[in-house]
A and B are shown apart, each in its own frame.
Chain A
Amino acid sequence: MVKINGLTYNYSPEVQLKFPDFSLSKGEQALILGQSGCGKTTLLHLLSGLLQPNSGNVDVENENITKMSGARLDNFRGANIGIVFQTPHFIEALTVKENLTLTQTLAGKTRDVDKVKTLLADLGVESKLNSKLNALSVGEKQRVSIARALVNSPALILADEPTSALDDKNCDAVLKLVREQAKKYNSTLLIVTHDNRLKDPFDKRIEL
């Protein structure tokens, strides 16, 4: 389902990053651990096709995304990969609902408000449906960003330090939610973190 092999990325001739090979099957949940600066975010960008590797392959849903480019890659990413960022960002001019329906249409899917409502309810932020993003707390924003990563039922969910900006209480809740939801939609989940608070058992732990 997700497979990388021989993946390298050169920031400059002096700074070269080499990533260990691994593969995840459908619905598997994995943790990638490593100190800051070891290339966690770079790996995530390579996995989502935001960066092109210098060598190696990334297969998602049996498609080698390093061979894709342009609009095809953007489309594939929108439809198959959901990303939760460390600090949640949104289109500030839009409401929660509009941000989520935009995510559906940008990925080429049909607008489905019911799905948006179900997701927000599952994540405990259904009351924020028509709120502007700047009216939400950081914890609420992170829940909405999980909803956004899930709204297109992607095959792969990538989470980049999703809990590092949250307090302990929110950290546990958000982690629990993202795992539950990934399971619900049978999405493969890959969390990149250096957060020591994530002690739950994962199917796989990969050290960088």
Chain B
Amino acid sequence: MMFAHGFGCDQTKWRLVAPAFEADYRIVMFDYVGCGKSDWSAFDVQRYGSLHGYAQDVLDILNAFDLRDVVFVGHSVSAMIGMLASIEEPQRFSRLIHIGPSPCYVNDAGYIGGFERSDIEGLLDLMEKNYVGWAAFLAPVVMKNPGRAELTEELQSSFCATDPRVTRQFARVTFFSDNRADLAKLTVPSHILQCSDDAIAPQSVGLYLQSAMPMTTFRQMSATGHCPHMSHPAETIALMKECLQQAS
């Protein structure tokens, strides 16, 4: 079972959920390049210019350990990343569990993603502000002390902070991606867990996905917000187990 974190943090987000599956599955967790404790120097602006670059991270890990029959659990943007990876190499996946997914965050004709482009630009500005201290004072310290793990640790204690330029690009790629056309290509069975009152992936998006994705089941969670695996781990675990039982 592979857990993939969403935009804004790293694999530590899964710590309330992943242990519940340790007895039955081999658990694989990772940080995307540019997030958490990944090798920041591996960040390549070209490769990570679209979600396909992140999907390649997933496939690289699956290939490196030659993993098959993988249950891929993707939160937020990782749902689409997992979907892209499964379209690329379907034989590696047994099913996908999407938590709070959205194929397109920006509104379009006849489609409500929840945001306007200007909202996303506003987010990028806001992130820049929240990272201004990082960029001005901390980045040079870290860059000059590559061996000093505790410095990196200290930085991560703020927002699992990564390099703000990298985070900015991840934000851009996440929120400006439109994967609606890819949904129909999915050949691996999937399950959607949709939160109530999710400000990032509204109800309309869940309904859209339900109708556009082949071989999927849809579950409305009583959990509110965008991070049920952190705010409501018990319900998240229970629903995931139900999905898996249903599958077998």
Q: Do chains A and B stick together as partners?
A: no
